[in-house]
């Protein structure tokens, strides 16, 4: 895919935040020698395939994670994030800088439900004059934080809550 093409590719990725990955009675977040190489492998995969937009779940809000993942990828992508209330993770949407997309706006959404879910909505278009009747193609993308069902007494589908929405 040509970097300036109007083609659009999307990659969704649950990166399994190190604060949630269980490792023999502890969490991977306490072992940077394990999670840093895993995060670098994810980063290498994403930069190899260069999707136009990357939607990430379980994005970890940690200073060292920021240094290892966000700083390198932000050379190539605009990074938009929202953190779940009272949780160390959230979601991120990354838009390739060299693409024909322009981010017009973004908005975090807080569901305030059982799982403290959040979503991040981006309004993008394929022309710098988008939103002003310039003949551009406009898109809205929403990355939603799905909740893992630990309590068998309730289910997301019975609550009528969404999982992931991508509007193209």
**Residue 81, domain member (yes or no):** yes
pTM of the model: 0.77
CATH number, domain at 71?
A: 3.60.10.10
In tens digits, the chain (168 residues) has pLDDT values of 445 556 778 888 899 999 999 988 899 999 999 999 999 999 999 999 999 999 999 999 999 999 999 999 999 999 999 999 889 999 999 999 988 788 888 888 888 776 788 888 888 777 655 655 555 555 555 555 544 444 444 343 443 433 334 443
Residue 67 lies in a domain: yes
Structurally, how many domains does the chain consist of?
1
Residue 155 pLDDT: 40
Residue 1 belongs to a domain: no
Contact call for residues 65 and 39 (beta carbons, < 8 A): yes
Tell me whether residue 4 is in a domain. no
Using alpha carbons only, how large is the chain's radius of gyration in Å? 17
Could you tell me the residue range of the domain that residue 119 belongs to?
10-167
């Amino acid at each position: 895919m040509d970097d300036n093409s109007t083609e659009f590719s999307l990659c969704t990725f649950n990166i399994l935040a190190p604060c949630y990955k269980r490792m023999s009675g502890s969490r991977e977040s306490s072992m940077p020698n394990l999670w840093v190489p895993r995060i670098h492998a994810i980063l290498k995969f994403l930069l190899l395939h260069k999707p136009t937009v990357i939607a990430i779940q379980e994005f970890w809000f940690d200073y060292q994670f920021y240094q290892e993942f966000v700083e390198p990828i932000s050379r190539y992508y605009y990074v938009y994030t929202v953190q779940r209330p009272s949780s160390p993770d959230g979601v991120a949407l990354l838009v390739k800088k060299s693409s024909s997309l322009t981010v017009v706006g973004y908005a975090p959404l807080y569901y305030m439900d059982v799982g403290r879910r959040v979503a991040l909505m981006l309004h993008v278009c394929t022309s710098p004059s988008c939103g002003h009747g310039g003949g551009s193609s406009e898109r809205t993308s929403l990355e939603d934080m799905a909740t893992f069902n630990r309590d068998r007494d309730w289910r997301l589908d019975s609550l009528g809550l969404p999982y992931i929405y991508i509007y193209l």
